[in-house]
Amino acid sequence: MSSCALTCGHLFHRVCVSQWFNRGAAAGRGGLTDGICPCCKKNVSLNNALRVYPTGDEEGDRMVRQDRDLKKVTEENLRLHAQQEELRQQLQRARSTLEEEVVAHDILKMEYGQAASKCETLQNELQDGKDMKLAIENSYKSALEKSEGEKTDALQS
């Protein structure tokens, strides 16, 4: 946060004195860059204020470090918010994909059940066909044996 010295010599943070002047302008006392010093009540101008750079000042150094740390924390916070939003979007995409795959799985289960039922029906029909073939073969053998028996009887008589 930058500091400034007004023409009367008093030191303020530039943001603080700007806010003071803005409040004064709203109340009809001066403009956005002109106003009255909060300490000595002299007419001063922010345009003529000197920017002050503290050196060797522990309080100033602490404020600079805090400002730098705040900027780092703010940047990290923004980065984490962006990462959180990306993860939220990934989660939503994963949920959508999961829902689609659950529907596809249910369809496949239904189709498998239908195919298994059809397979069982075909196996039953095949077994019926085999049983019918065996019955016909047995009937044919029986008829053939009778026919052979009749031939033998006819030849013996």
Give percent of the chain above pLDDT 90: 46
CA–CA separation, 11 vs 3, rounded Å? Answer: 7
**pLDDT tens track for 33-64:** 678 888 998 888 888 888 887 666 677 778 88
Per the structure, how many domains does the chain have? 2
95, 134: one domain: yes
Residue 32 has pLDDT above 60, yes or no: no
- Average pLDDT of the chain is 87
pTM of this prediction? 0.41
Q: Is residue 142 part of a domain?
A: yes
Q: Is residue 157 part of a domain?
A: no
82, 35: one domain: no
Q: What is each CA distance from 104 to 23, 73, 101, 109, 118, in whole angstroms?
A: 66, 46, 5, 9, 21
Of residues 37 and 86, more confidently modeled = 86
**pLDDT tens track for 125-139:** 999 999 999 999 999
Q: Is residue 156 part of a domain?
A: no
Q: Which domain holds residue 95?
A: 58-151
39, 64: one domain: no
137, 75: one domain: yes
65, 115: one domain: yes
Ordered DSSP codes for 19-82: HHHHHHHHTTSS-SSEEE-TTT--EEEGGGPEEE---S-HHHHHHHHHHHHHHHHHHHHHHHHH
22, 97: one domain: no
46, 65: one domain: no
Kindly give, in sequence order, each residue whose CB lies less than 8 Å from that of residue 67, ignoring residues fewer than 6 positions away. 1
